[in-house]
Amino acid sequence: MDFALLTADGAMFLLRWMHVFFGIVWIGHLYYFNFVQGAFFAETDAATKNNAITKLVPRALWWFRYGALFTFLTGVGLITGRMHQGFNFASSWGVNILTSMSMATIMFLNVWLIIWPNQKIVIASATQVLGGGQALPEAPGAAAKAGLASRTNVFFSLAMLFFMVGARNLNITTSETSNFVALAVVFGIIIIGIELNALKGKMGPLTTVKGVIHCGVALAVVMYVIAEVLL
Protein backbone atom coordinates (compact mmCIF):
# COMPACT_ATOMS: atom_id res chain seq x y z
CA MET A 1 0.00 0.00 0.00
CA ASP A 2 1.37 3.44 -0.94
CA PHE A 3 0.76 6.35 1.39
CA ALA A 4 0.62 9.63 -0.53
CA LEU A 5 1.49 11.54 2.64
CA LEU A 6 4.84 9.69 2.94
CA THR A 7 6.26 11.28 -0.21
CA ALA A 8 7.97 14.65 -0.84
CA ASP A 9 4.65 16.00 -2.15
CA GLY A 10 2.95 14.63 0.97
CA ALA A 11 5.47 16.51 3.17
CA MET A 12 4.67 19.73 1.27
CA PHE A 13 0.98 19.04 1.77
CA LEU A 14 1.44 18.54 5.55
CA LEU A 15 3.43 21.78 5.74
CA ARG A 16 0.65 23.59 3.85
CA TRP A 17 -1.94 22.11 6.24
CA MET A 18 0.00 23.40 9.27
CA HIS A 19 0.56 26.72 7.53
CA VAL A 20 -3.17 27.26 6.99
CA PHE A 21 -3.91 26.20 10.61
CA PHE A 22 -1.42 28.74 12.01
CA GLY A 23 -2.67 31.32 9.51
CA ILE A 24 -6.23 30.89 10.81
CA VAL A 25 -5.05 31.17 14.44
CA TRP A 26 -3.24 34.42 13.57
CA ILE A 27 -5.71 36.11 11.23
CA GLY A 28 -8.69 34.86 13.27
CA HIS A 29 -7.37 36.76 16.29
CA LEU A 30 -6.56 39.79 14.12
CA TYR A 31 -10.19 39.91 12.98
CA TYR A 32 -11.44 39.33 16.54
CA PHE A 33 -9.38 42.31 17.81
CA ASN A 34 -10.53 44.57 14.98
CA PHE A 35 -14.11 43.49 14.31
CA VAL A 36 -15.26 42.53 17.85
CA GLN A 37 -13.05 43.67 20.72
CA GLY A 38 -12.54 47.30 19.64
CA ALA A 39 -16.29 48.01 19.53
CA PHE A 40 -16.79 46.27 22.90
CA PHE A 41 -13.99 48.32 24.54
CA ALA A 42 -15.49 51.53 23.14
CA GLU A 43 -18.80 51.02 24.91
CA THR A 44 -17.89 49.15 28.10
CA ASP A 45 -17.01 50.73 31.48
CA ALA A 46 -13.40 51.41 32.53
CA ALA A 47 -13.23 48.64 35.17
CA THR A 48 -14.45 45.94 32.75
CA LYS A 49 -12.06 47.21 30.09
CA ASN A 50 -9.05 47.14 32.45
CA ASN A 51 -10.03 43.66 33.60
CA ALA A 52 -10.21 42.45 30.02
CA ILE A 53 -6.90 44.15 29.11
CA THR A 54 -5.10 42.35 31.95
CA LYS A 55 -6.78 38.93 31.74
CA LEU A 56 -8.25 38.38 28.28
CA VAL A 57 -6.05 40.44 25.95
CA PRO A 58 -2.70 38.86 27.02
CA ARG A 59 -4.09 35.38 26.28
CA ALA A 60 -5.45 36.45 22.89
CA LEU A 61 -2.17 38.22 22.08
CA TRP A 62 -0.20 35.06 22.89
CA TRP A 63 -2.14 33.00 20.33
CA PHE A 64 -2.01 35.96 17.92
CA ARG A 65 1.76 36.48 17.91
CA TYR A 66 2.76 32.79 18.01
CA GLY A 67 0.19 32.09 15.29
CA ALA A 68 1.96 34.79 13.26
CA LEU A 69 5.40 33.34 14.00
CA PHE A 70 4.50 29.77 13.00
CA THR A 71 2.58 30.94 9.92
CA PHE A 72 5.73 32.75 8.86
CA LEU A 73 8.03 29.79 9.61
CA THR A 74 5.83 27.25 7.79
CA GLY A 75 5.53 29.77 4.91
CA VAL A 76 9.34 29.95 4.71
CA GLY A 77 9.37 26.12 4.69
CA LEU A 78 6.88 26.07 1.81
CA ILE A 79 8.78 28.57 -0.31
CA THR A 80 12.04 26.68 0.35
CA GLY A 81 10.33 23.49 -0.86
CA ARG A 82 9.05 25.26 -3.96
CA MET A 83 12.55 26.62 -4.73
CA HIS A 84 13.96 23.08 -4.48
CA GLN A 85 11.27 22.01 -6.93
CA GLY A 86 12.57 24.70 -9.31
CA PHE A 87 9.40 26.81 -9.46
CA ASN A 88 9.80 29.87 -11.72
CA PHE A 89 9.16 33.25 -10.08
CA ALA A 90 8.58 34.98 -13.46
CA SER A 91 5.12 33.41 -13.74
CA SER A 92 1.58 33.82 -12.48
CA TRP A 93 2.50 31.65 -9.50
CA GLY A 94 5.58 33.79 -8.81
CA VAL A 95 3.62 37.07 -8.93
CA ASN A 96 0.94 35.68 -6.64
CA ILE A 97 3.30 34.17 -4.11
CA LEU A 98 5.88 37.01 -4.03
CA THR A 99 3.13 39.61 -3.64
CA SER A 100 1.30 37.73 -0.86
CA MET A 101 4.52 36.76 0.93
CA SER A 102 5.78 40.36 0.94
CA MET A 103 2.51 41.59 2.45
CA ALA A 104 2.29 38.72 4.98
CA THR A 105 5.93 39.19 6.05
CA ILE A 106 5.36 42.92 6.67
CA MET A 107 2.21 41.98 8.62
CA PHE A 108 4.26 39.49 10.69
CA LEU A 109 6.85 42.21 11.45
CA ASN A 110 4.05 44.62 12.40
CA VAL A 111 2.84 42.05 14.94
CA TRP A 112 6.18 41.51 16.63
CA LEU A 113 7.81 44.93 16.26
CA ILE A 114 4.87 47.36 16.62
CA ILE A 115 1.68 45.75 17.95
CA TRP A 116 3.18 43.55 20.69
CA PRO A 117 5.68 46.08 22.21
CA ASN A 118 2.96 48.76 22.32
CA GLN A 119 0.33 46.39 23.70
CA LYS A 120 2.75 45.50 26.51
CA ILE A 121 2.67 49.17 27.56
CA VAL A 122 -1.16 49.21 27.44
CA ILE A 123 -1.33 46.02 29.55
CA ALA A 124 1.22 47.37 32.08
CA SER A 125 -0.83 50.56 32.41
CA ALA A 126 -4.11 48.70 33.01
CA THR A 127 -2.35 46.44 35.55
CA GLN A 128 -1.15 49.50 37.50
CA VAL A 129 -4.65 51.01 37.50
CA LEU A 130 -6.21 47.77 38.77
CA GLY A 131 -3.57 47.69 41.54
CA GLY A 132 -4.67 51.17 42.66
CA GLY A 133 -1.92 53.10 40.84
CA GLN A 134 -1.83 55.66 38.04
CA ALA A 135 -2.22 54.91 34.31
CA LEU A 136 1.06 55.19 32.39
CA PRO A 137 1.18 58.51 30.48
CA GLU A 138 2.58 56.77 27.37
CA ALA A 139 -0.31 54.24 27.25
CA PRO A 140 -2.73 56.23 24.98
CA GLY A 141 0.05 56.86 22.41
CA ALA A 142 1.07 53.18 22.51
CA ALA A 143 -2.56 52.08 22.02
CA ALA A 144 -2.87 54.39 19.00
CA LYS A 145 0.34 53.02 17.40
CA ALA A 146 -0.73 49.41 17.96
CA GLY A 147 -4.23 50.21 16.67
CA LEU A 148 -2.99 51.74 13.40
CA ALA A 149 -0.61 48.82 12.74
CA SER A 150 -3.40 46.36 13.52
CA ARG A 151 -5.87 48.10 11.17
CA THR A 152 -3.17 48.18 8.50
CA ASN A 153 -2.76 44.42 8.87
CA VAL A 154 -6.52 43.94 8.32
CA PHE A 155 -6.23 46.24 5.27
CA PHE A 156 -3.32 44.16 3.87
CA SER A 157 -4.93 40.84 4.77
CA LEU A 158 -7.61 40.76 2.06
CA ALA A 159 -5.17 41.33 -0.81
CA MET A 160 -2.61 39.07 0.88
CA LEU A 161 -5.13 36.19 1.00
CA PHE A 162 -6.29 36.92 -2.55
CA PHE A 163 -2.78 36.46 -3.94
CA MET A 164 -1.74 33.66 -1.57
CA VAL A 165 -4.74 31.48 -2.39
CA GLY A 166 -4.27 32.65 -6.00
CA ALA A 167 -0.78 31.10 -6.14
CA ARG A 168 -2.13 27.74 -7.24
CA ASN A 169 -5.69 28.70 -8.12
CA LEU A 170 -5.64 31.98 -10.09
CA ASN A 171 -3.82 32.03 -13.39
CA ILE A 172 -2.88 35.66 -14.08
CA THR A 173 -2.37 36.02 -17.84
CA THR A 174 1.34 36.29 -18.74
CA SER A 175 3.19 36.35 -22.06
CA GLU A 176 6.70 36.67 -23.52
CA THR A 177 6.45 40.48 -23.19
CA SER A 178 5.19 40.53 -19.58
CA ASN A 179 6.96 43.25 -17.61
CA PHE A 180 7.59 41.60 -14.23
CA VAL A 181 10.08 44.27 -13.14
CA ALA A 182 7.59 47.11 -13.72
CA LEU A 183 4.99 45.19 -11.75
CA ALA A 184 7.42 44.61 -8.87
CA VAL A 185 8.20 48.36 -8.78
CA VAL A 186 4.51 49.38 -8.78
CA PHE A 187 3.53 46.78 -6.16
CA GLY A 188 6.61 47.74 -4.08
CA ILE A 189 5.53 51.41 -4.07
CA ILE A 190 1.95 50.48 -3.07
CA ILE A 191 3.01 48.10 -0.26
CA ILE A 192 5.74 50.38 1.13
CA GLY A 193 3.40 53.38 0.95
CA ILE A 194 0.75 51.57 3.00
CA GLU A 195 3.36 50.45 5.55
CA LEU A 196 4.77 53.99 5.87
CA ASN A 197 1.26 55.12 6.70
CA ALA A 198 1.13 52.40 9.40
CA LEU A 199 4.35 53.76 10.92
CA LYS A 200 3.72 57.49 10.77
CA GLY A 201 0.38 58.18 9.12
CA LYS A 202 -3.31 58.34 9.96
CA MET A 203 -6.25 55.93 10.28
CA GLY A 204 -8.39 57.76 7.70
CA PRO A 205 -10.94 55.32 6.22
CA LEU A 206 -9.40 52.44 8.21
CA THR A 207 -11.06 53.82 11.38
CA THR A 208 -14.29 51.87 10.92
CA VAL A 209 -14.69 48.14 10.36
CA LYS A 210 -16.74 48.81 7.21
CA GLY A 211 -14.04 51.21 5.97
CA VAL A 212 -11.14 48.82 6.45
CA ILE A 213 -13.01 45.93 4.75
CA HIS A 214 -13.94 48.16 1.78
CA CYS A 215 -10.33 49.39 1.52
CA GLY A 216 -9.06 45.79 1.70
CA VAL A 217 -11.34 44.60 -1.10
CA ALA A 218 -10.45 47.68 -3.19
CA LEU A 219 -6.72 47.04 -2.70
CA ALA A 220 -7.08 43.41 -3.86
CA VAL A 221 -9.07 44.45 -6.95
CA VAL A 222 -6.74 47.34 -7.87
CA MET A 223 -3.62 45.20 -7.49
CA TYR A 224 -5.16 42.35 -9.49
CA VAL A 225 -6.13 44.70 -12.35
CA ILE A 226 -2.64 46.28 -12.35
CA ALA A 227 -1.13 42.76 -12.56
CA GLU A 228 -3.31 41.84 -15.55
CA VAL A 229 -2.57 45.16 -17.31
CA LEU A 230 1.22 45.03 -16.81
CA LEU A 231 1.69 41.31 -17.53
Least separation, in Å, of the C-beta of 125 and ligand HEM? 29
Span 118-177, contacts to ligand HEM by CB under 6 A:
161, 164-165, 167-169
Are 187 and 195 in contact, with CB atoms under 8 Å apart? no
Residue from 39, 46, 47, 76 touching ligand HEM (CB under 6 A): that is: 76
Q: 204: phi > 0 → left, psi -120 to 50 → alpha, else beta; which?
A: left
Residues within window 196-215 making contact with ligand HEM, judged by CB under 6 A: none
- Residue 70 CA to residue 161 CA, distance in Å, equals 17
Rg of the chain over Cα atoms, rounded to whole angstroms, equals 20
Nearer to ligand HEM, 114 or 126 (CB): 114
Minimum Å gap between C-beta 137 and ligand HEM is: 34
SS3 2: coil
CB 70, CB 22: distance < 8 Å = yes
94, 101 Cβ separation under 8 angstroms: no
Binding string, residues 29-68; x marks residues near ligand HEM by CB under 6 A? ----------------------------------------
Residues forming the site for ligand HEM (CB under 6 A): 16, 19-20, 23-24, 26-27, 71-72, 75-76, 78-79, 82, 97, 101, 104-105, 108, 161, 164-165, 167-169
